[in-house]
Amino acid sequence: MDDNQLLRYSRHILLPQIGIEGQEKLLAAHALVIGAGGLGSPVALYLASAGVGRLTICDGDEVDLTNLQRQIVHRMQAMGMKKAESARQTLAGINPEVSVAALAERVDEARLETLAAGADIVLDGSDNFVTRHAVNRVCVRLKKPLVSGAAVRFDGQVAVFDLSGADSPCYSCLFPEDGEAEDVRCAVMGVFAPLTGIVGSIQAAEALKVLTGAGETLAGRLLLLDALTMQVRTIRLAKDPACPVCSTA
């Protein structure tokens, strides 16, 4: 790190759990961020400001007025612009040292696999089960850590799937693809603006912990947050031995 980097990241370096060594791990890391919406916004902002060296941000949508209530990486002047590019521009204004690849595309599973193969960690901020399951399958196959988040109405969820161990549960163990979990999208259901900030910020925190090895991550646990009562609880996740995605049996 040069003098400017030592200054920029000094408040991380002061933390014994991160230090220079941890910050250097962040600078060398590459995170794949799926979605530049309500969750992807705080995820991208914190990963970039914290100095994760490379970010690949995928989002095929364009910024519109209904997004600005919560998708805090976007600005008024970005309306009509692709969200990935809008995010890239905002991040460049905060930390130009971070290399951001803005992919304005709706990625299918094959594309996800190529992108995830080059990343150290995947953060899922997508808003639909089809994408979430595709991201999960790819992370299971490549054994990439996955930080999953969801926020709708006043309800938030965050989980980390380690996927390196044979007994690690995956997203599909929790929400089977043929299960009863329905797509409840912000577009229809409404979402409390700061909830996406809380959930996305927890995702960013977990990613920084996974990348630096600091503390204990949510691996194998699901955090549930009710923003109406501000009750938070975490439940242990068990691997489903019959899971069609991650079971080796």
44, 173, 207, 227: which one binds Zn ion (CB under 5 A):
173
One of 139, 170, 186, 243 is an active-site residue; which one?
A: 186
Q: Please name the residues in contact with 168: beta carbons below 8 A apart, sequence gap of 6 or more.
A: 161, 162, 219, 220, 239, 246
Nearest to 125 by CA among 212, 44, 33, 229: 33
Number of residues that bind Zn ion (CB under 5 A): 6
User: What residues contact 191, with CB distance under 8 A and at least 6 apart?
Assistant: 38, 70, 151, 152, 153
By CB under 5 A, is residue 243 in contact with Zn ion? yes
Give the angle 140-145-151 at the CA atoms, nearest 5°: 100
Q: How far is the CB of 243 from Zn ion (least distance, A)?
A: 3
The reply on whether position 170 binds Zn ion by CB under 5 A is yes
What is the Cα 100 distance to its own chain's centre?
15
- Binding mask 112-151 toward Zn ion (x if CB under 5 A, else -) reads ----------------------------------------
Token pair of 100, please?
């951001």
Tokens 């299971």 -> residue:
140
Minimum distance of Zn ion from residue 89's CB (angstroms): 37
Does the active-site annotation cover 170?
Answer: no
246 makes contact with Zn ion (CB under 5 A)? yes
> What residues line the site for Zn ion (CB under 5 A)?
170, 172-173, 243, 245-246
Q: Which residues are catalytic?
A: 186
